[in-house]
Amino acid sequence: MNLDVLAGCVTTASCFVTQVSTGLIVGMLLFLVASGLSLIFGVLGVVNFAHGVFYMLGAYFAFAAYEVTGSFILALLAGAAGAGLLGIVFERFFMSRVYGRDLLMQLLVCYAAILICDDLVKIVFGADYKLMGMPESFAAAPVEVMGGFIPGYYIFMLAMALGIGAVLWLGINRTRLGKIIRALAINPQMVGALGINTRLLYAAVFGMGCVLAGTAGALAAPVRTLTPGMGLSVLIESFIVTVIGGMGSIPGALVAAVLIGLTRAFGAIGFPLFTDGLMFALMGLVLILRPSGLLGTRTA
Amino acid sequence: MSNGANAIGRRGLLGGAAAGAAILAAPRIAGAQAKVIRVGMPTVLSGRVAILGTSSRTAVQYAFSRMNEAGGFGGRTLQLVERDSKGRPDEAAKVTRDLINNDGCEIIIDGEASSGGFAVHEVVRDLPVLCVHTNSETSSLTADPKLHVKTAFRCARQGIHDAVAGGVYASTISKQRGLKRWMTCSPDYAYGRDNTAEFLEFARLYDPAIEVVDQVWPRLFAPDYTENITKALQVRPQAMYSALWGGDLVSFMEQSNLYRLFPNVALFSSSLGDPPVLTAIKQLPPGLHTAYRYNRTYPDKPDNTAFADGFAGLAKHEPTNWAWQNYVACQFIGEALKRTNGRTEGAALAAELKGMQISSGLAVDEKLTMRESDHTLIGYPTAWGRTVPKAPFVEDFAPIAWSQILEMETQWKKQKGYA
């Protein structure tokens, strides 16, 4: 425990700015993945244990597109769209068959998907690690803010994640389609009775959740190595975010992701040997004090 | 007891048991007499460190094809039988037993990382075929006399040699440039912590002015190192040692580049010199210090270049550290088989390997030695060099005298109670 160092950091502008930005950087990627997980759970009522696969696929699709085109924008689109399309296929052919079934059955389907996709990625891209590389436009020196440093790419990443979060929130809360989706989450029979194709909506929502995971993977590809099975570690952290924020709550996912990010950033300063443990301690605390999560809906 | 007509008598029982034993033993006897010598290789062929196994396998295949083309040994050729342990020690032990008992393998090349290597070592204690460990760098595997197995050898670099070499090199640079404030960033598991402790021990032995101002331990296979990098920005060390390796090191370097960490901090890395790492990093900063893992330009010998070309022709990438270790292991095994004229009994091959010296393009001087006292390789490259952005990516290799390494190793063994 380095509480003196932690106190010194919090009271020093440069350290504070750098660590807050670090927390946001770590948190925003987690938010994208966790918000997809939350969206799917909130509307479809299933826990997509294979969500990390779509993060991995997004990263690999972006890598492949960048190798072919050299365009980072196209790479991002390929990552998001590729993960979304495969998400729809997965939902239609596999997940839709286990809605309302035993949780173990859902877990089995997702686990099979993880194993198959990891092996397919290994066959197509090879077992060794890959790195997309930083686009030239982001190769500039980090920006100095009050003595702290924030890399240009991370500023872009933060803006993208916040922008996507805002669009998602507006889409769900301020549009007609959003109203239908919210209604679908509460009473799917009623939505179906109104002549709306609920199967199509389920697939679209599942696909949207996977687009979010794929986008996170594509955004991570320039700075994180790509390996088959890379989705697992991000999935575990996303579950922690979802539990802390409240299952099904997208604003909750945002708050929890930022909390986790800040915990990691300042934990590295004050509790360097217990940074990972802090995340789980935070989750335990929330589960004890507020079992439904920070912004989750209390159930009777 | 039955006294019926169909009852089996004592002699019948013994005879049946003998016949059964003969049948069960037949595959091994047949294997021993077969024209092909089957060589088993438990290794990691899947998961995040699959390149360890895939490059090891390619190096052995390349070496065997050359030996077979040259006529084999006493009319016998070599055939590789590899098995994926998935990096799990229990699986490594299981597949090694299967390779010997069921697949008729007469020699084992253990391509496991350290955790699996120890498991394979214990299997070979029970089933004494010749075993050459090719990827375990943990010193105790061969240094600890309690672990000694008569038919097991190590043809790989080892931690204590690298620690001495790293300490000598780093202390020289630290004295030249006045690098007093050091930080470490290594993976949080046994290898990362041991490797870092040994490096610091020897660096401070040669330059007592070195002060460790902070140590961070990201977990193995962590996807993000931003919090560790920004902590380094706060601590502002003059130098950093890292035992990160493979894809983790690539991520760490790329994320550090975003913060321009290494123009301001001198990096000393145990694993940056591995060609797959060097080529995966898109923006390799110049002037970083790294231990030799493999480089086609060092040792600067035609045999080394020929190995690099031959391996790259098969693997479509440059050799790894694991590749040269496996290739050299095959050279040692080949020489032993030549001397036994193709006989594969573990004891016979082990007797030949003890103290064996072979000429090799990978030797720092003329020959590599399989040291008789502890069955381990010496004389291999332990140099440190500096990075450059383009191929060959590392240059200015500064060799560390083996006499100095061996002297410090002897003292270390006494401290540990190994000698």
How would residue A298 be classed by pLDDT, with cut points 50, 70 and 90? low
Residue A128 and residue B276: Cβ atoms within 8 Å? yes
State the pLDDT confidence band at B27, using cuts at 50, 70 and 90. Answer: very low
Residue B230 and residue A223: Cβ atoms within 8 Å? no
The answer to whether the Cβ–Cβ distance between B234 and A220 falls below 8 Å is no
Give A150-188 pLDDT, tens digit per residue: 999 999 999 999 999 999 999 999 999 999 999 999 999
| pLDDT average, residue stretch B252-270 | 94
Tell me the residue range of the domain where B266 lies: 160-297+382-416
- Which residues of chain A make contact with B248, given a CB cutoff of 8 A? 225
List all residues 6 or more positions away from A103 whose beta carbon is below 8 Å from its beta carbon. Answer: A47
- Indicate whether B5 belongs to any domain: no
Are the C-beta atoms of A153 and B258 separated by less than 8 Å? yes
Q: Residue A36 domain-assigned?
A: yes
**How many CB pairs below 8 Å do chains A and B form together?**
110
Average pLDDT score, chain B: 91
| Nearest neighbour of B254 by CB, restricted to A18, A25, A131 | A131
CA closest to B223 among chain A residues? A224
Q: Residue A16 is part of a domain; what is its CATH number?
A: 1.10.3470
pLDDT at B189: 84
Q: Are B258 and A151 an interchain contact pair (Cβ–Cβ within 8 Å)?
A: yes
Task: Give mean pLDDT, residues B195-223.
Answer: 93
A130 lies within 8 A of chain B by CB: yes
Whichever domain contains B285, its CATH number is: 3.40.50.2300
Nearest CB to A264 within list B50, B221, B227: B227
In a domain, B63, yes or no: no
pLDDT of A201: 95
pLDDT band at B7; cut points 50, 70, 90: very low
Spatial separation of the C-alpha atoms in residues B332 and B360, rounded to whole Å: 10
The predicted model gives B377-399 an average pLDDT of 95
Distance from CA of A272 to the nearest CA of B (A): 6
Distances (CA, A) of B149 to A235, B372, B375: 43, 13, 9
Calculate mean pLDDT across residues B188-214. Answer: 93
pLDDT for residue B5 is more than 50: no
Structural domains counted in chain A: 1
Helical (H) or strand (E) element with B290: strand B289-291
Percentage of the residues of chain A whose pLDDT score is greater than 90: 76
3-class secondary-structure state, position B384: strand
Residue A32 has pLDDT above 70, yes or no: yes
Concatenating the DSSP letter of every residue in B244-256 gives: --HHHHHHHHHHH
Q: What is the mean pLDDT of chain A?
A: 92
pLDDT (tens digit per residue) in A71-94 = 999 999 999 999 999 999 999 999
Residue A102 pLDDT class (50, 70, 90 cuts): confident
Let me know if residue B16 belongs to a domain. no
Chain A residues 229-288 with a CB less than 8 Å from chain B: 229-230, 233-234, 264-265, 267-269, 272-273, 275-276
State residue B24's pLDDT score.
44
- What are the φ/ψ torsions at residue A193 (nearest 5 degrees)? -65, -20
Residue A238, domain member (yes or no): yes
pLDDT in tens, B61-110: 999 999 999 999 999 999 999 999 988 999 999 999 999 999 999 999 99
| DSSP element (H, E) containing B42 | strand B36-43
| Residue A204 vs residue B189, higher pLDDT | A204
Report how far apart the first and last C-alpha atoms of chain B are (Å, whole number).
Answer: 59
CB proximity A22 to B under 8 Å: yes
Mutation site, A19, A223, A279, interface B, largest B CB count within 10 A: A223
Query: Does residue A295 fall inside a structural domain?
Result: no
Containing domain of residue A172, as a range? 3-289
Report the range of poorest mean pLDDT among A89-98, A133-142, A213-222, B224-233: A133-142
**pLDDT over threshold 70, residue A299:** no
| Rounded percentage of chain A residues whose pLDDT exceeds 70 | 99
Lowest mean pLDDT among A138-142, A217-221, B178-182: A138-142
> Is pLDDT at B20 greater than 70 in this prediction?
no
Question: How many structural domains does chain B have?
Answer: 1
Identify which has the larger pLDDT, B191 or A106: A106
B250:A265 CB<8 A: no
Q: How many Å lie between the alpha carbon of A17 and the closest alpha carbon of chain B?
A: 10
Flag whether residue B234 sits within 8 Å of chain A, measured between CB atoms: yes
Query: Mean pLDDT, to the nearest integer, of B246-251?
Result: 92
From chain B, the residues in CB contact with A268 under 8 A are 216, 227-228, 230-231
- ipTM of the shown complex: 0.88
Residue B263 resides in a domain: yes
Residue B96: partners with Cβ closer than 8 Å, 6 or more residues away: B40, B42, B108, B110, B119, B120, B123, B124
Under the banding of pLDDT at 50, 70 and 90, the label for residue A100 is: confident
Q: Report the predicted TM-score, pTM, of the whole model to 2 decimal places.
A: 0.86
Residue B286 belongs to a domain? yes
Q: How far apart are CA B139 and CA B24, in angstroms?
A: 38
pLDDT at B335 over 70: yes
> Would residue A131 count as lying in a domain?
yes
Q: Is residue B127 part of a domain?
A: no
Query: What is the Cα–Cα distance from B208 to B380, expressed in whole angstroms?
Result: 28
Tokens of A300: 């009777």
Residue A198: CB partners within 8 Å, gap ≥ 6? A184, A188, A191, A192
